[in-house]
Structure 1
Amino acid sequence: MAQRLYLQEVGSTKYKLTALLDQRRTLPRTWSGHTDYDDFSEGYYASDPSKESFTEWVISPEEEPLRTQSLQVHYKRLSPGGSNTGHGHQNEAAFYIISGNGYEIHDGKRYDWQAGDFCFVHSDSVHRHFNADPDEPAVALVMKAKSTWMAMGLYQQGGIEPWTSKVEGYGPREDWSQLWTPGSNEMSKVVRSPELEYQLTADGFVKTICSPRTPDVRSWGLDLDMLRIPPGSKTALHWHMADEYLYVLQGTGRSRQWDVAMELDDKYYAHVAEEPVVADFTTDNHIYVPPNTQHVFENTGDEDVVLISAQNRLFKHMGYDKTVVLEAAPEYQGD
């Protein structure tokens, strides 16, 4: 059985790692997704005997050359009336339900979902996914910052396997959740995006799914937004240190990205590329923005573009919580 790679080594014979970043910047910024989910052929994970749960990776540490370990993304499909066998891992995961309806069992509690919902698997959750439709498959896009947990040594995970006999040297069962942030169990696990209104911001029309501004949503590792770009319009041209993954839920457009070079003198200085990396996208495509990149997304079609944006929230806790708006979205008239 092939080894699954959870965290890729970062090494160099030189202290300066510019060559690694340059290599990542040569990779495509947009690429096509799937249009026929029935073509999935890989099991959700090798030990799942149900044969009703399938996955196809979009971004993972197993990419060669490596694009990012900040985020991991994959499609997931449940066969009609099917489920996986259930498992647990310490990292969070966010599911956007592309199609279908079903429910989760997380730590013995049921959470129903349908197309358009975001469903969150919390840290240290024993969870299982069920497709409630006996005739149609359910498809989701799964986004997570798993490598961050792995880098910190939080890799206690596995299939459901109750402790049925005493292991020498260990005591009786205790409540694991006493280590969690107080109030975690009262936070929301499902966000119904169709019930949210787009807010006009400097970035354009945005639905905030989870971020530090949504303390009632049980997600600590991801920031998720939905962006709507009207025909002929664009998002803000902005700049942040975190890299970013975007899924094209609807529409046709263009990504423009200006890479930033580093100068080390008396302090760090940025030099912005004179010409952008330009790439077109359409429905069910994927977009990647490398760290420390100025970028804008444009609508080149005749219907709204809708994007799902994911960033690893750890950047904000490391002192990079500023997004610099260089040019606001055309509809925005504020400061």
Structure 2
Amino acid sequence: MAWGESKVWLKGGANEALYQNLLDDAAQAPERNRQRRKVIRPEDMPWELARQGVLKHLLNSQMNTRMETVDAYMQIIPPGSRSGRHRHLAEECLYVLEGRGYDLHQDCDVEITDTYHWKVQDEVKRFEWEAGDVIYVPPNTVHQHVNASPDQPVRLISAVNRIYKQCGLNDLEQLEDAPEYQPGMQLTEALVRQYLARK
């Protein structure tokens, strides 16, 4: 044969219908998607007292919705409190529904070779916000949301693109827990109302 590598590439007897599986998956998508929710009612949006804080998940890859590309949650920050402090590779935007406060951001120096390394810069940047604003968090930025009011809660809507996670880059690291976090605690409507209550 004309190709010198033929002694190598002709080896192997395994057969797999990998391309056919892609065709089958595409053909089955309409029926599969009919089973997935397009409307999510408040009672179907799970609460979580997470290390990042008090969350009500609106869209998540684990919620069997039609949404393919975005995860979103509402975050409640009680009066005078703050979110957890974390970093993730995906960029994030947050809409401020209620309250006022500020974000603390630290950029990271990143190096991607055979491995992935990052180092937090010393400078902490502060960004003030209030109801109606949109907060932008750049990729790989250490960030935290702070409620500046001693008597009013903050409610934020967070949206993050899933593309990084789907590409195997779910680089999420919690650096500080929210003050409200208690492992294993289950949220109830009454408890959430307590967090919302103005002092």
**TM class by smaller structure:** 0.7 to 0.9
- 2:21 alignment counterpart: none
- The change in CA–CA distance for 1:281 and 1:194 in structure 2 (over 3 A counts) is farther
- 2:81 alignment counterpart: 233
- 2:159 alignment counterpart: 310
Give the Å deviation of 1:289.
0.3
Quick check: which one's helix share is greater? 2
- The change in CA–CA distance for 1:263 and 1:332 in structure 2 (over 3 A counts) is same
1:243 is aligned to 2:77 = no
Identity rate, percent:
35
- 1:290 alignment counterpart: 138
- The change in CA–CA distance for 1:288 and 1:320 in structure 2 (over 3 A counts) is same
- The change in CA–CA distance for 1:185 and 1:270 in structure 2 (over 3 A counts) is same
Secondary structure at the aligned position of 2:82 is classed as coil
- 1:186 alignment counterpart: 35
- 2:69 alignment counterpart: 221
1:252 is aligned to 2:115 = no
- 2:168 alignment counterpart: 319
1:12-42, Cα deviation, whole Å (9 max, x unpaired): xxxxxxxxxxxxxxxxxxxxxxxxxxxxxxx
- 1:272 alignment counterpart: 120
- 1:206 alignment counterpart: 55
Unaligned ranges ≥5, structure 1: 1-176
Give the Å deviation of 1:225.
0.8
Residues paired across the two proteins, number: 158
CA distance in 1, matches of 2:166, 2:110: 22
For 2:163, give the aligned amino acid: L
Of the two, which has the highest radius of gyration? 2
1:255-305, Cα deviation, whole Å (9 max, x unpaired): 111100124677442121112221111000010000011100010112111
- The change in CA–CA distance for 1:195 and 1:304 in structure 2 (over 3 A counts) is farther
Structure 1 range deviating more: 234-243 or 178-187: 178-187
For 1:251, give the aligned amino acid: G
CA contact (8 A) 2:107 2:120 kept: yes
- 2:179 alignment counterpart: 330
- 2:10 alignment counterpart: none
For 1:328, give the aligned amino acid: D
Secondary structure at the aligned position of 2:170 is classed as coil
Give the Å deviation of 1:213.
1.8
Give the Å deviation of 1:195.
6.8
For 2:55, give the aligned amino acid: V
1:74-128, Cα deviation, whole Å (9 max, x unpaired): xxxxxxxxxxxxxxxxxxxxxxxxxxxxxxxxxxxxxxxxxxxxxxxxxxxxxxx
CA distance in 1, matches of 2:32, 2:44: 24
- 1:55 alignment counterpart: none
CA contact (8 A) 2:92 2:158 kept: yes
Root-mean-square deviation (Å) = 2.2
Secondary structure at the aligned position of 2:107 is classed as strand
CA distance in 1, matches of 2:39, 2:112: 45
Q: How does 1:54-203 map to 2 (within 5 A)?
A: 178=27, 180=29, 182-193=31-42, 196=45, 198-203=47-52
CA contact (8 A) 2:49 2:182 kept: no
Secondary structure at the aligned position of 1:233 is classed as coil
